[in-house]
Amino acid sequence: MTRDTDVHGTAGADDDQRPNARAEDVLPDGGSEERSSSNHSHGRTPREEAVDDVALDPWGSSAVSDYRKLFKQFGIEEFDALLPEVPDPHYLMRRGVIFGHRDYRPVLDAMRNDEPFAALSGFMPTGDPHIGHKLVFDELIWHQERGGDAYGLIADLEAHSARGLSWDEIDEHARDYLLSLLALGFDPEEGELYRQSANREVQDLAFELGAEANFSELQSIYGFDGETDVSHMQSVVTQMADILYPQLEEPKPTVIPVGPDQDPHVRLARDLAARTRYFGVTQAYASFEADPGERVLLARAHDALEDRENDGTVRCVDAAEWLEGTDVDDPTDALPSALEKLHAAGKEPLRPRTRFLDRNATDEAFEALIEAVEGEKRVYEAHIDSFELSREEAESLAREVEIDHGGYGFLAPSSIYHRFMTGLTGGKMSSSIPASHISLLDEPETGYEKVNSATTAGRETAELQRELGGEADECPVYELYAYLLAGDDDEFAKEVYDECVGGERLCGDCKEQAARLMEEFLAEHQEKREEAEGLLEELDFELDSRR
């Protein structure tokens, strides 16, 4: 076991992870679901420590003023870069509502190659499902329609422990989430719906994963402290198990569609997935271990010298001398340690190879892997070097042997992130401020009224609006069109936008139109919810909690 030294993720899926990294200077400008802190408080969240230094906090009041900062500071990747490769992308993708992802490519590749993949998300039943949740419902359904195994879960343990909801309240809201998810088109025959408390496999997996994380880590990721109750911590490992649950039967690319406030969970799940693995696979150049920065230097030296040495052998000392005499780019300041290692290795040949590291393997599994590596190889006490296998081949071989010997073989889970919706009254969209959001249970007329009295980003007078145009990009009502009301109709969304910024569309009429569309949407959605009632009763889902 390497756990004692490895607990902070040197085995992590992301080399550059910073679990408690903070986005500096992220001020709330609206656009988030409020996540009020609970009476089962976990104490000061990272967010509360400094007002202008904000973390992505799953239980805080997440608001993101500048989504681009999330790319730089947290390593979230831009969704737009992948968009051209997405088959028939969802309108939320096309319109940049889904703005970011972590490692979505494996899911995309599986989708395109008709290979297995999964999509899972969870909902805390703390109130009515609203139009912000609909984004996630739609994302799950979209992946399901493209052949993914889809999972929707009710995070009842989290709602109880982190938000202090009673079981009765939880049961009531859980029903409402499920009905809306079904009404929007989730196919429960193909997919799976469960509640955390009733899923024994999830509980068992949570327990196993809990053995790979410790309190200091939860403290640094979530700001937990001595006051945090243990059940809240248990809800974290439960979420880790939720995220990996689709892979229990068989490892497969899995996407978790969520808001960016959930990114700390995603990063931890990626780390835990890696920590359970029997073997790590890395690139190496000699018998010694090198970190990623050192590896870059070794590769440079190897490539430079390979042609010059006529018998094809590059010795470690020669590489050291070459590095000493060359001005190489060394952003991580890895040169001194690389040189030290190269000098110590002396005459040993520098030769690229694929390395299997024994992390959590049983002895039998390690032996089996030695057997399974074909071609030229070298076996060491805790690693095996192959001179013939590519990294990809090595990864899949390692996974195969792991699974054959009782391991999970988890792939690192992926995520996609959507923007938070702006509240109708400006500021944040909050479940606890009814006027700020539209509940999927709101009477169609109430929806109409709410939209009609929403704040807009229009100019002070109609005259100015005609002259300067409206600011659609800042407008909660335009957002309603883009996120929901225009549906799949890009042309309509663009028309609204162009007319607004061109000064032809005035706020009164625009809101009236949006209000009517909202009314229609709610009426139709609620009809479908009623139809879904029967479906829900037939499902194997514990609607009444056991307590």
Residue 155 touching ligand TRP (CB under 6 A): yes
Q: Is residue 258 within the footprint of ligand TRP (CB under 6 A)?
A: yes
Is residue 421 within the footprint of ligand TRP (CB under 6 A)? no
Q: What's the CA gap between 285 and 349, in Å, rounded?
A: 9
Out of 13, 55, 150, 243, which residue is the one contacting ligand TRP (CB under 6 A)? 243
- The kind and range of the H/E element at 281 are strand 279-284
Tokens of residue 516, six digits? 């009517």
Number of residues that bind ligand TRP (CB under 6 A): 15
CA-CA distance, 429 to 425, in Å (whole number)? 8
Tokens representing 386 are: 């192959």
Residues 9, 30, 58, 407: which binds ligand TRP (CB under 6 A)? Answer: 58
- Residue by residue, DSSP assigns 507-527 as HHHHHHHHHHHHHHHHHHHHH
Asked if 273 is part of the footprint of ligand TRP (rule: CB under 6 A), the reply reads no
Q: What span, in angstroms and rounded, lies between the C-alpha atoms of 270 and 290?
A: 22
Indicate the residue among 202 and 369 with the shorter CB distance to ligand TRP.
Answer: 202
**Nearer to ligand TRP among residue 199 and residue 276 (C-beta):** 199
Distance CA 362, CA 358 (A): 9
The answer to the question of residue 242 lying near ligand TRP (CB under 6 A) is yes
Q: Which residues of 347-360 are buried (b: 16+ CB within 10 A; e: fewer)?
A: eebbbbbbbbbbbb
334 binds ligand TRP (CB under 6 A): no
Among 6, 34, 57, 158, binds ligand TRP (CB under 6 A): 158
Judged by beta carbon, residue 121 or residue 386, the one nearer ligand TRP is 121
Smallest distance, ligand TRP to C-beta of residue 238, A: 7
361 lies in the binding site for ligand TRP (CB under 6 A): no
Q: Between 122 and 409, name the residue whose CB sits nearer to ligand TRP.
A: 122
Give the end-to-end CA distance of the chain in Å, rounded to a whole number. Answer: 38
- Nearest CA to 112 among 141, 140, 84? 84
Residue 45 as a binder of ligand TRP (CB under 6 A): the answer is no
Residue 13 in contact with ligand TRP, rule: CB under 6 A: no
Between 153 and 314, name the residue whose CB sits nearer to ligand TRP. Answer: 153
| 3 state SS of 241 | helix
Which regions of 97-145 does DSSP assign to beta strands (E)? 98-102, 118-123
* Contact status: 159 vs ligand TRP (CB under 6 A): no
Cβ proximity to ligand TRP: between 124 and 475 the closer is 124
Which of 23, 76, 256, 338 touches ligand TRP by CB under 6 A? 256
> Which residues between 493 and 522 bind ligand TRP (CB under 6 A)?
none
| Interface residue with ligand TRP, options 61, 144, 199, 239 (CB under 6 A) | 239
Strands 279-284 and 377-379: unpaired
Q: Which is nearer to ligand TRP, 121 or 228 (CB)?
A: 121
Which residue number, 120 or 316, has a Cβ lying nearer to ligand TRP? 120
| 247 contributes a contact to ligand TRP by CB under 6 A | no
- CB neighbour list of residue 26: distance below 8 Å, 6 or more residues apart: 54, 63, 64, 65, 66, 69
Q: Which segment (235-243, 442-450, 478-486, 538-546) binds ligand TRP by CB under 6 A?
A: 235-243
Q: d(Cα 9, Cα 6) in Å, to the nearest integer?
A: 6
Asked if 365 is part of the footprint of ligand TRP (rule: CB under 6 A), the reply reads: no
The CA distance from 227 to 223, in Å, is 11
Q: How far is the CB of 256 from ligand TRP (least distance, A)?
A: 5
Query: Are 51 and 442 contacting, i.e. CB atoms less than 8 angstroms apart?
Result: no
Q: How many residues does the chain have?
A: 547
Q: What's the token pair of residue 494? A: 């663009």
Within 87-126, which residues bind ligand TRP (CB under 6 A)? 120-124
Binding site for ligand TRP (CB under 6 A): 58, 120-124, 153, 155, 158, 239, 242-243, 256, 258, 262
